[in-house]
Amino acid sequence: MHTAFVGLGANLGPAEASVRAAIAALGELPQSTLIAASRLYRTPAWGREDQPDFINAVAQLRT
């Protein structure tokens, strides 16, 4: 098996709910196991700063 880290982020619509749903979806992938997920954290937009802050997280999978 291999370990993978997946970065997640959203800044449109219900961003927090979107990131939480993405983590849950990763946990449902066949032949993979969700090992851990970071807490959600907020970061300012970079580059185009005239947009909402991002909600980010990282998930660890074994696949």
The per-residue DSSP string of 30-45 comes to TT-EEEEEPPPEEE--
Sequence-ordered list of residues with C-beta below 8 angstroms from that of 43, at least 6 positions apart, any chain: 9, 53, 54, 56
**Mean pLDDT of all residues in 31-56:** 96
Predicted pLDDT at 49: 83
Q: What is the CATH number of the domain that holds 35?
A: 3.30.70.560
Q: pTM of the prediction?
A: 0.91
Q: Is the pLDDT of residue 6 over 90?
A: yes
Total domains present in the chain: 1
**Mean pLDDT of all residues in 6-14:** 98
Domain extent for 37 = 3-62
Q: Which of 6, 10, 7, 5 is nearest to 55 (CA)?
A: 10
